[in-house]
Amino acid sequence: MVFSKNIFRMIIVLFIFQNNAISQELNFNVSVIVQGSINSLTNDPELFRNLEKNINEFINTTKWTDDEFQGNERIRGSIQITITGEIAPTVFSSEIVIQTERPVYNSTYASPMVNMIDKRVNFTWTGLQPLQKTTNTFYDNLSAILSFYSYFVIGMDYDSFGLNGGEQFYLKAQEIITSLPSNYVRDDGWKNDDPFKRNRFWLIKNILDPTMRQFRQAFYEYHRLALDKMFDETDRSRAVLLSALTSMSQADKDNPNTYLIQVFGDTKKDEIVEIFKAADKGQKTKVKTLMVGMDASKNSKYSILN
């Protein structure tokens, strides 16, 4: 009997260990907010509570990679979906705000990795259909969009730890686009001829473009060779970070007005200012010139570095 109990305990411990080792990759807070005009036939709070619950389960319980994650290694972030209107019964227009963060080595600081808003999200939700992981088979637009951003944020996280480490996940995001049926290819959020080049198609095109390899190398250096060493070698790490920003600026000149570089600037502006507030005047001036050169709209944000 004692032997049996010991075996039982070992089985339990092994199960807990294995369950922890294959933990899903994402640990997101999910919220759904209704701000738009909703038809009285579908203005049911339970419908949107159900949507929030289903998105939460989909994002956080789907296995997105073949890698094993410990519970504390999961990528932390949030998705907020704001329903802005009803196009037809159970067909909604919305905006999605996506934010993720990455722990910085030897510190309690978490660096923002993605902070972006997608204002062109239309989807059907009846409360009955399941959300499904999407790559090369299209199920529905909401599943495709959520899968796309899941792969994108995982790719960004991997790129920050290893040079071009996120490639396979960007390719999966690209597969979602190539698998779109004809009636979705022209959707504003997906179409390849968006005049402003600020949608999902252009986001993944930018990051997979061979001419943007310089940006991705600098992105890796920014995080792994600068931020992760900032605690022990502050001045040297600040210099490495400045070098990375210089490379990104060159990538911007070679590929002007890319969506990817805009997302980077929107995400990192506060962090960059905070890091360089204690730098010498020469570094401050150079950082301001580089960052405003990549996005002139942020001039006031970097004016603190004067």
Q: pLDDT tens, 175-189?
A: 999 999 999 999 999
Provide the 8-state DSSP code for 163.
T
Q: How many residues does the chain have?
A: 306
How many Cα atoms sit within 13 Å of 91 on the Cβ side? 6
Helices 141-161 and 213-220, interaxial angle, to 10°?
Answer: 60
Torsion sign, CA atoms 287, 291, 296, 299:
negative
Residues whose CB is less than 8 angstroms from the CB of residue 16 and which lie 6 or more positions away in sequence, other chains included = none
Q: What is the DSSP code (8-state) at residue 107?
A: S
Strand order in the sheet with 75-88: 26-37, 75-88, 91-103, 110-124
pLDDT at 37: 77
The confidence score (pLDDT) of residue 45 equals 84
Whether the CA torsion 44, 50, 52, 58 is positive or negative: it is negative
**Low pLDDT (below 70) residues in the chain:** 1-22, 40-42
Where does 15-158 show beta strands of DSSP type E?
Answer: 26-37, 75-88, 91-103, 110-124
pLDDT in tens, 193-206: 999 999 999 999 99
